Chains A and B, each alone.
Chain A
């Protein structure tokens, strides 16, 4: 019985920590986002048509885009330089921050 309780506890702990990691830390992302703000806007609403608005975008889409810029699968010199120093955790946090802002929507049918 004791072992069962221990096991349940361990599983719950792992599940909780992974889900936090996957969701990202909005506050940590906000702190990290100052460099992004120059082009993408403080809240992720960009003032220039050259740079995408990120506010409200799906977090997992932004994570895969950031990773693609890092590996060069998406070829963009500005973004490649900007993401070079980001860890996977930074990317998850940044994505969580921009996803939490109000902006983009799904197209209406």
Chain B
């Protein structure tokens, strides 16, 4: 019985992790409005140096969150991206990433 209880507890924890990891795409669509200024324009270019801003629709949410965090802590340096993610919470990132992931489908 104790073991069953422990099992249920672990299962419950697993569910809470997935719920948190999933992100809310509908909220992300609101929080991610600013992103569309660059990432929502076909063939839009980064300036100095010039290259296309990456396509994000259909990208894995988990990867997008990791990328946003990397800009926030400076493991990836990009002034505009830093400015845009510095005030985002973990949940904001999850929501925005969920929205981007499902937009490509």
Q: Which residues of A contact B (CB under 8 A)?
A: 46, 48-53, 56-58, 60-61, 63-64, 68, 73-76, 103-109
CB distance from B17 to the nearest CB of A (A): 13
Interface size on B, residues (CB 8 A): 31
A50 — which chain B residues lie within 8 A by C-beta? Answer: 60, 62-63, 66
A75 to B57, CA, bound (A): 24
Complex: chain A residue closest to B37, CB-CB: A109
Given that A63-B51, A76-B75, A109-B36 are contacting pairs, would A103 and B63 also be in contact in the complex, using a CB cutoff of 8 Å? Answer: no
Of A49, A60, A74, A105, the contact of B63 (CB 8 Å cutoff) = A49
Interface of A is mostly: loop
CB distance from B97 to the nearest CB of A (A): 9
A108 — which chain B residues lie within 8 A by C-beta? Answer: 40, 57, 103
Interface of B is mostly: loop
Are B61 and A105 in contact (CB-based, < 8 A)? no
Query: 10 closest pairs, A vs B, by CB?
Result: A49-B62, A58-B52, A104-B55, A60-B51, A105-B57, A49-B60, A75-B75, A107-B40, A52-B63, A109-B40
Known A76-B70, A106-B43, A107-B100; further 7 A-B contacts with Cβ < 8 A = A50-B60, A64-B51, A103-B58, A105-B55, A105-B104, A106-B57, A107-B103
Q: Number of A-B pairs whose CB atoms are under 8 Å?
A: 90
Residue interface mask B58-100, A partner, CB < 8 A = 1? 1111110011001000011100000000000000000000001
CB distance from A46 to the nearest CB of B (A): 7
A73 — which chain B residues lie within 8 A by C-beta? Answer: 76-77
Complex: chain A residue closest to B33, CB-CB: A109
Complex: chain B residue closest to A69, CB-CB: B76
CB distance from A9 to the nearest CB of B (A): 30
CB distance from A4 to the nearest CB of B (A): 33
